[in-house]
Structure 1
Amino acid sequence: MSFASEAHRQGLVFTAAYVPDGPCVGVATHRTLVTSRGRLLFVDDLVTDPGVRSGGVGSLLMEELEARARRAGCTRIELDSGVANHGAHRFYHAHRMVIAAHHFGRDISPE
């Protein structure tokens, strides 16, 4: 089973940004979750073409994600970002996001 089909069954939604009559220049993947923190829109990924960074594509995607979160009755937008991805951190801070938690993980090897 492919990543996209399995993730779609888990509620993952793809939102893409295109240049008018041109290529895709950004994608966000997200899902609505109900957690102990409330109903939230969790952003799995938000990526833009490096050639158009700082051109507003990421901001347009964030605006669309916020609109979708409101329509879904969410009270929060959350995402994880790699600790060394400082450019992304500046972007998220500029969009009024705060670092609210540390996310811990561990790889599990097959037996």
Structure 2
Amino acid sequence: MRRLRIKELHSRNEMMEAFPVMKQLRTHLDEKVYLELISEAQEKEGYKMFALFHDSDIVAVIGFQPMITLYYGKFIWICDLVTDSHRRSEGYGEKLLSYVHQWAKENKYERVALSSGLQRTDAHRFYEEKMGYDKVSFVFKIDF
């Protein structure tokens, strides 16, 4: 019988415990930059990170920011969502994203939004077919 639990991560040690899973999505980050970015995002942007544990192992991680814009109103922006590559298609991503949906409702947010890289067709199928998301826009960026 699997024992699942979702926990918000607060401490540096908890964040580091999630790094091996997060690194699978954010391959460009090393531990130092990862911790610096999380710390600054928590302080300045209200970033929150939750992990889904199967027994004592982290199998999925999600990071999000509560936001308010004129376009979306009061909403949650999913910044990061990754399931350990050895544990995909076991329902962990769905469970963690559903948890954030419930968190949003309980905290009076009107919607949840995210972006996903153009190459991530499996993720797009998951968001649209499994989780009921609508594809509503493109995201554009410029690097400096």
Common fold: TM-score over 0.5 = yes
Aligned-pair CA distance for 1:19: 0.9
Corresponding residue for residue 97 of structure 1: 133
Corresponding residue for residue 40 of structure 1: 75
Letter of the 1:62 partner, please give it: L
Corresponding residue for residue 143 of structure 2: 107
Q: What is the distance in 2 between the residues matched to 1:89 and 1:40? A: 20
Aligned residues: CA RMSD? 1.1
3-state SS of paired residue (1:54): coil
Q: Which runs of 5+ in 2 are unaligned?
A: 1-34
Q: Which runs of 5+ in 1 are unaligned?
A: none
The count of residues paired between Structure 1 and Structure 2 equals 107
- What percent of counterpart residues are identical? 29
TM-score by length of 1: 0.92
2:46 is equivalent to residue 11 of structure 1: yes
Query: Which segments of structure 1 move beyond 6 Å, counting only runs of 4 or more?
Result: none
Corresponding residue for residue 53 of structure 1: 88
TM-score by length of 2: 0.72
